[in-house]
Copies of this chain bind each other. A is one copy, B any other.
Amino acid sequence: MEALKQKIIDEGVVVSDTILKVDSFLNHQIDPMLMQEIGLEFARRFKNNGVTKIITIEASGIAVALMTGFNLGVPVVFAKKKEANTMAKQFYTSEIKSHTRENQVTIAVAKEYLSADDRILIIDDFLATGEATKGLLNIINQSEAKLVGVGTAVEKSFQSGGQRLEEQGIRVEVLAKILSLENGKIVFG
């Protein structure tokens, strides 16, 4: 998606060979018009797949997921990050490795918002190692809902999370695929 790639070129900050900072329009400050364009594009790609619900993880996945849900006309559920000791049996939970902190994080979705009849689209802002997506897949599997696919605004494909999902037969739609951040240079795929 050209508008997103251009925004990354204009405002993205390459912090290291593996870290791209897009705090000015996606992860801290949000550009609502760009989010709407992203939502429209995901809706275009998944409109014939009978999606009944979108799932994402708080906090930075919410904007992208909300606009996709708005354009597909379906509800959005955001998994909550919790401390393990606050978990109750009315939640599906999964452990994920945090990519910013060193500890594990528990993500949780209330059982009442996922059912075996649901056709779920996972939407997130970033796909890197795929740890967060793996946690959502685990939760979807517990609910026996059907996974339609995964949509990510940005993929850092050199961290191989997307490839591993596709090797499992999962459809992955990426709006801006980044092959490399080496030497401070953003290389799109």
A31 within 8 A of B: yes
Partner of A78, one of B31, B59, B69, B70: B59
Q: Once bound together, how far apart are the Cα atoms of A70 and B70, in whole Å?
A: 12
The number of residues on chain A lying at the interface, defined by a beta carbon within 8 Å of a beta carbon of chain B, is 30
Q: What residues of chain A have their CB less than 8 Å away from a CB belonging to chain B?
A: 23-25, 28-33, 35-36, 58-59, 62-63, 66-67, 69-70, 73-78, 80, 109-110, 112-113
Q: Once bound together, how far apart are the Cα atoms of A8 and B30, in whole Å?
A: 28
Q: Once bound together, how far apart are the Cα atoms of A110 and B22, in whole Å?
A: 13
The reply to whether A113 and B29 contact each other, CB–CB distance below 8 Å, is yes
The reply to whether B62 and A29 contact each other, CB–CB distance below 8 Å, is no
The reply to whether B30 and A76 contact each other, CB–CB distance below 8 Å, is yes
